[in-house]
Amino acid sequence: MITIINPTRLTRQPFFKDLINYLDQQDDVILRQIKAQFPDQPVDKLMEEYIKAGFILRENKRYTLNLPFLESTDRVELDQEVFVREDSAVYQELKAKVFQTELRNTTNAAILIEETDFARHAQTLSNYFYKVAHQYPLTEDQEKLYAILGDVNPEYALKYMTSFLLKFLKKDQLMQKRRDIFVDSLVLLGYIIQNEDGKYELAIDLDKERLTFYLAWFLVSEHIVWLSLGLSINYM
């Protein structure tokens, strides 16, 4: 099975995914066979798009794959489009690879550093913003976050989340009288916990001098890749 991670508008099409996996299992495929396999699809039109994009080769009326399969994870970058076979060793290496993302905002100097896997399945704020912006499928945990935040503006959300987190510079416990979706989200993300007295405590590491919050414990190694995601960037 061929997996596409971070697909584009073209490669996220269900027919494209079905087609490449069909061609991957067949030899000397002609157009008539493809139309028979996918009778409900506008095969002629879509095939021309895939050929133009370079994903499919047409030679002597035969169709074959021409995908840029990932061969090594040494220089892979978070968010790049990747074609990989699920039964390959490189896919296992990719799943084990850890990336670090950095979120900043224009309201204050707080920095949120989070760890993630390449597919962005990890429950982090950066992953949530990225997937919502690109309309990628959410994990079950990310769906819970979506039920709270919805399609919120990242800058707006970070303004309130970081402002709340920065209060821990002066206090170990905080009270929140009114229900707040941003505080609820911080709990769901694991940034804070609510104790038996109903007060909130910081559940992650904080570098007070650098105003930096670390969502996960991480080690410096050759498998960790940095990616800055300041809100000056475009999530699209």
Q: Are residues 43 and 154 in the same domain?
A: no
In a domain, 235, yes or no: no
In a domain, 173, yes or no: yes
Spatial neighbors of 114 by CB under 8 A, at least 6 apart, are 100, 101, 103, 122, 124, 125, 126, 127, 215, 216
Q: Tokens 């080769």 label which residue? A: 57
- Render pLDDT for 49-82 as a digit per residue (tens, 0 to 9): 999 999 999 999 999 999 999 999 999 999 999 9
Of 63, 96, 129, the last residue of a domain is 96
- Render pLDDT for 98-152 as a digit per residue (tens, 0 to 9): 999 999 999 999 999 999 999 999 999 999 999 999 999 999 999 999 999 999 9
% the chain with pLDDT above 90: 89
Q: Are residues 55 and 170 in the same domain?
A: no
Per the structure, how many domains does the chain have? 2
Overall average pLDDT of the 154-178 stretch:
95
